[in-house]
A and B are shown apart, each in its own frame.
Chain A
Amino acid sequence: MKVIARLALGMCLCVAQSRAAAPAPQPVSGNEDVARLENTAGRYGGRIVVGQRSEPKTLNPATATDAISREVIGRLNGDLIEINRSTQKTEPALAKSWKISPDGRTFTLTLRKGVRFSDGQPFDADDVIFSFAVYLDEAVGSPQRDLLMIDGKPPSITKLDPYTVRFVLPRPYAAAERLFDGFAILPRHILEKPYREGRFAQAWALNTPAPEVAGLGPFRVKQYWPGQRILLERNPYYWKTDRDNHRLPYLDELVFLFVGSEDAQLMRFEAGETDLINRLSSENYALLSKEQSRTQMQLTDLGPSLEYNFVLFNLNDLSGKKLDGIARKQSWFLDLKFRQAVSAAIDRDAIVKLVYGTRGAPLWGNVGPGNKMWVNSTLPHPSRSLETARQLLKSAGFSWNGSGELLDPRGQAVEFSIVTSSSNAQRMKMATLLQEDLSQVGMQVHVVPLEFRAMLDRVFQSFDYEAAIMGLGGGDADPNPEMNVWLSNGSSHLWRLNENQPSTAWEREIDQLMNEQMVTLDYHKRKKLYDRVQQIIAEQLPFIFLATPNILAGAKGEVGNFQPALLDHYTLWNADQIYLRNSENAGLR
């Protein structure tokens, strides 16, 4: 009897605990400026489990550099202005409104009143001032700092009253409001002390006790199991509500499970251990769709992503580098006709078919069809033509010997290697297809798979490579995050790094256009400038663009408000609105 009584008591405690596990959302009070989402409805309760490649390195929004940490941090924190991933437009967040001065330099933001951090402490302009002081502090080393520095100068940020903040930029900056997305507002009451004491970098590590990590996001940390998972619970003070004025988020808990490779994530999802899968390869998508009728999963193909995969020739200045073999081949790579011939010989449709299983799009420029706001749709899309490729090569002085090998004007056989990351199965496949395509115009191409970091080292540091297959993009749809690729002194100006001066007329023109679009506020004028940039890139081919994969995502059937988007984070960007259709806890409403 005693045992049974104990068991019963234990069970009661368990139930009580699990109930206490999810803090009930606080009732919305009249003097609180909540953000009401008019199109959102759902039901309370339940937990969603998401698989992640590895565990986050930190929970500190100002020092996190890796995508995995940001995946978690993004759910814990709020920004002043957000980019709605679905419409790709900016929306008021912690700033309920903002005004831009006619010269485009002064931003006056009005903050929401009555908003509280996840520990219940109030939020006001002091938190904003503190947060940006942290982001701008060179000693903190925040990766976001570069985004705020315009011409090497920081914006000046002043508090006008407890709910009004003014940002003055050193010069006009197009779409500057988009920058606010990604600058999480930090709680001054918690982080000011470690910041003053110079311990900011260590603050909010994964082992920090949960109550000391407070943010303005829909969730807050509850518990962390090293190497296994991190459990988030509802932030009961979150500042968004649904159309019926119910405070979001709907979910009680959100779990990030550290599972490993993409295949492992797929298997967990198939086994029902996880509820969402963020980014599927086309093969895995095909695998899941075969079972769809049985499993009732929601599988979404959002169409071409913003990522672009390309072949890159080493055009770096190699003088003094002891890479004579590569320097000799640069006479081919530097020849525009050679690059055009390579581009003409590539079978992009085969890449889309064999690499992405038709779930992708061929590319001829850096902006793909997925980016409807910015794509230059007037650019030509020439189909594969070996004839054109041969003519181009012939006119550049190349010839062929008896066995069909391509010879350069000095009579040397055209032979080069393409490095690519061995862990990226898709780019490895592209390399194999390219090798075959180019062999048909007599080029002998060797595929050299390298471990990812070893490859980056060659491309960014030692310049010891001839050609490479890489991918870029996928951040924001706006042209500004692409500045570091296209400006001749940009840190990702891959084909010719560390340039102080543009070495060609077209690179100079791109520099001018990119800098001009950055200070142009009118969308149509900016679009025109960026169209011209895309045109130059497509003509001069510093990269030879190949293809872009579609964004593919999946969720269990019972996940409601599942609205994956083209922008990162593809599936959890609206974690506050996601709910479970069959949640047992619906009584809470």
Chain B
Amino acid sequence: MRTKARVRFLVFLLVALHILAVIAGFISPYDAKEQDRSHPYASPTRVRFADESGFHFRPFVYTSVCDFEGCREDRTQEYPIHFIVTGPSYSILGIFKWDYHLFGIDRPARIALLGTDAFGRDEFSRVLYGGQISLAAGLLATLITLTVAAIIGTISGFYGGWIDEALMGVSELFLSLPWLYFLIGVRAFLPLHVSPIGTFFLLVGVIGLIGWARPARLVRGVVLSARTCNYVAAARGFGGSDIYLLWRHVLPGTYGVLLTQAALLIPLYIAAEATLSFFGLGVSEPVPSWGNMLATLQHYNVLVSYGWLLAPAMALVITSVIYGLLADALHSRFS
């Protein structure tokens, strides 16, 4: 019962996380692409409740004045935070068009809860919007990888013989391919500009294609050992068909492996996009994704000077921890 509650809680967290990404347009005060060139690398805006006159129930912020040395607060005027305000229009799931935002602030003040990036774009909005692509791509690519891996690994392990050798030969080939050069080659064949939807499927496809070999070998190992177990042999003796044997006796043994792999692969794939964008295969500017936002952290000066730009990394860590715990809980429930 305790594990059941844990699973429920974790699923709830995950759903909440994904809903946040879906309604990113509503929660974020700005458009993810909007640049504010007078405030590059601005530190997170401090939300205040108290000033010299005392405590206020409505939170407020000060404007910040930035130069290359850093930003300072200009305390001459307070800008209260308004809730449910109109702002730049957005769409949810590409269907509902809307221009209401959860919170906002009067110009010229800006509220950047997680600071701004090199172009003065609001990091908070970008993390939320970035989650849309990254969470979906990570999940879908993992699903593809594991489906392919499960099918190939099962066939290979269950039937053995030349099928096994052929399939595992292919997987070895995939493991030993020089991926860097392969990716450069793939890029050369593609049209110069790929639309965001195209990029998304490209990402999922490339990642899925690269990743299937290792989990397939793991699945094969599990199937191979299950196949020779006495209970499988007994079921076969009673006249069970291959499908029945697989479904009833062999595949359940692989769930554990698949789940652990899923928990490992999702965060890995979200980060892999940073590498892919290096080859022009990732999500390109100005559309945010956790991967391309993380790519800016490769620069030492950004890492040491602008800590708030680690926000996408934090988001990624939180996501992976939830997935990891969930896989763990599901694993113990299944066994």
Q: In the complex, which residues of chain B have a beta carbon less than 8 angstroms from the beta carbon of A422?
A: 277-280
Name A444's closest neighbour in chain B (CB-CB).
B193
Q: Is B52 an interface residue (CB 8 A)?
A: no
Q: Are A354 and B68 interface neighbours, CB within 8 A?
A: no
Q: In the complex, which residues of chain B have a beta carbon less than 8 angstroms from the beta carbon of A449?
A: 277-278, 280, 284
Q: Is B286 an interface residue (CB 8 A)?
A: yes
Q: Is B35 an interface residue (CB 8 A)?
A: yes
Q: Are B285 and A451 interface neighbours, CB within 8 A?
A: no
Q: Are A354 and B119 interface neighbours, CB within 8 A?
A: yes
Q: Which chain B residues in 181-228 approach chain A with CB under 8 Å?
A: 184, 187-188, 192-193
Assembly CA distance A403 to B216 (angstroms): 50
Q: Is A332 an interface residue (CB 8 A)?
A: no
Contact flags A212-228 to B (C-beta < 8 A → 1, else 0): 00000000000000000
Q: In the complex, which residues of chain A have a beta carbon less than 8 angstroms from the beta carbon of B305?
A: 283, 287
Q: Are B300 and A267 interface neighbours, CB within 8 A?
A: yes
Q: Is A284 an interface residue (CB 8 A)?
A: yes
Q: Is A454 an interface residue (CB 8 A)?
A: yes
Q: Is B302 an interface residue (CB 8 A)?
A: yes
Q: Is A433 an interface residue (CB 8 A)?
A: yes
Q: Are A450 and B277 interface neighbours, CB within 8 A?
A: no
Q: Is A465 an interface residue (CB 8 A)?
A: yes
Q: Is A350 an interface residue (CB 8 A)?
A: yes
Q: Are B119 and A432 interface neighbours, CB within 8 A?
A: yes
Least Cβ distance of A245 to chain B in Å?
45
Q: Is A324 an interface residue (CB 8 A)?
A: no
Q: In the complex, which residues of chain B have a beta carbon less than 8 angstroms from the beta carbon of A287?
A: 300-301, 304-305
Residue tally, chain A, CB below 8 Å to B: 38
Assembly CA distance A190 to B184 (angstroms): 44
Q: Which chain A residues in 401-419 approach chain B with CB under 8 Å?
A: 417, 419
Partner of B284, one of A347, A423, A446: A446
Least Cβ distance of B52 to chain A in Å?
32
Q: Are A436 and B301 interface neighbours, CB within 8 A?
A: no
Q: Are B277 and A286 interface neighbours, CB within 8 A?
A: no
Q: Is A358 an interface residue (CB 8 A)?
A: yes
Q: Which chain A residues in 346-360 approach chain B with CB under 8 Å?
A: 347, 350, 353-354, 357-358
Least Cβ distance of B130 to chain A in Å?
15
Q: Is A435 an interface residue (CB 8 A)?
A: yes
Q: Are B192 and A464 interface neighbours, CB within 8 A?
A: yes
Given A446-B193, A451-B278, A454-B184, does the pair A263, B299 have CB atoms closer than 8 Å? Answer: yes
Q: Is B312 an interface residue (CB 8 A)?
A: no
Q: Is B40 an interface residue (CB 8 A)?
A: yes
Name B187's closest neighbour in chain A (CB-CB).
A454
Q: Is A14 an interface residue (CB 8 A)?
A: no
Q: Is A431 an interface residue (CB 8 A)?
A: yes
Q: In the complex, which residues of chain A have a beta carbon less than 8 angstroms from the beta carbon of B279?
A: 422, 450-451, 454
Q: Is A336 an interface residue (CB 8 A)?
A: no
Assembly CA distance A433 to B187 (angstroms): 24
Q: Is A266 an interface residue (CB 8 A)?
A: yes
Name A285's closest neighbour in chain B (CB-CB).
B301
Assembly CA distance A266 to B304 (angstroms): 12
Name A415's closest neighbour in chain B (CB-CB).
B193
Q: Which chain B residues in 132-153 approach chain A with CB under 8 Å?
A: none
Given A357-B68, A432-B285, A454-B187, does the pair A448, B280 have CB atoms closer than 8 Å? Answer: yes
Q: Which chain A residues in 426-471 approach chain B with CB under 8 Å?
A: 428-429, 431-433, 435-436, 446-451, 453-454, 457, 464-466
Least Cβ distance of B178 to chain A in Å?
14
Least Cβ distance of A294 to chain B in Å?
15
Q: Is B107 an interface residue (CB 8 A)?
A: no
Q: Are B300 and A448 interface neighbours, CB within 8 A?
A: no
Given A422-B278, A447-B284, does the pair A283, B193 have CB atoms closer than 8 Å? Answer: no
Q: Are A286 and B187 interface neighbours, CB within 8 A?
A: no
Q: Are A450 and B37 interface neighbours, CB within 8 A?
A: no
Q: Is A147 an interface residue (CB 8 A)?
A: no
Q: In the complex, which residues of chain B have a beta carbon less than 8 angstroms from the beta carbon of A9?
A: none
Least Cβ distance of B183 to chain A in Å?
9
Q: Is B118 an interface residue (CB 8 A)?
A: yes
Given A422-B278, A451-B278, does the pair A283, B302 have CB atoms closer than 8 Å? Answer: yes
Q: In the complex, which residues of chain A have a beta carbon less than 8 angstroms from the beta carbon of B304?
A: 287
Least Cβ distance of A539 to chain B in Å?
29
Q: In the complex, which residues of chain A have a beta carbon less than 8 angstroms from the beta carbon of B68?
A: 286, 357-358
Q: Are A283 and B40 interface neighbours, CB within 8 A?
A: no
Q: Is A425 an interface residue (CB 8 A)?
A: yes
Interface centre among B40, B119, B192, B286 (most CB of A within 10 A): B192
Q: Which chain A residues in 256-297 approach chain B with CB under 8 Å?
A: 263, 266-267, 281, 283-284, 286-287
Partner of A283, one of B187, B298, B299: B299
Least Cβ distance of A456 to chain B in Å?
12
Q: Are A429 and B286 interface neighbours, CB within 8 A?
A: no
Assembly CA distance A180 to B280 (angstroms): 42
Q: In the complex, which residues of chain A have a beta carbon less than 8 angstroms from the beta carbon of B298?
A: 263
Q: In the complex, which residues of chain B have a beta carbon less than 8 angstroms from the beta carbon of A284?
A: 300-301
Assembly CA distance A286 to B69 (angstroms): 8
Q: Which chain A residues in 492-544 approach chain B with CB under 8 Å?
A: none
Q: Which chain B residues in 39-70 approach chain A with CB under 8 Å?
A: 40, 68
Q: In the complex, which residues of chain A have a beta carbon less than 8 angstroms from the beta carbon of B35?
A: 433, 436
Q: Are A354 and B280 interface neighbours, CB within 8 A?
A: no
Name B302's closest neighbour in chain A (CB-CB).
A283
Given A358-B68, A422-B280, does the pair A451, B187 have CB atoms closer than 8 Å? Answer: yes
Interface centre among B68, B118, B193 (most CB of A within 10 A): B193
Assembly CA distance A419 to B280 (angstroms): 9
Least Cβ distance of B288 to chain A in Å?
12
- Known contacts A263-B299, A284-B301, A431-B285; 17 additional CB pairs below 8 A are A263-B298, A263-B301, A281-B301, A283-B305, A287-B300, A354-B118, A419-B192, A422-B280, A428-B285, A435-B286, A446-B284, A448-B192, A448-B193, A448-B280, A449-B277, A451-B280, A454-B188
Task: List the 5 closest A-B pairs by CB distance, nearest first.
Answer: A263-B300, A283-B301, A417-B193, A446-B193, A432-B285
- A-B residue pairs in contact (CB < 8 Å), sample of 30: A263-B300, A263-B301, A266-B301, A283-B299, A286-B68, A287-B305, A350-B37, A354-B37, A354-B118, A354-B119, A417-B193, A428-B285, A429-B119, A432-B119, A432-B286, A435-B285, A436-B33, A436-B35, A436-B119, A436-B286, A447-B284, A447-B286, A448-B280, A449-B280, A450-B187, A450-B279, A451-B184, A451-B278, A454-B184, A466-B192
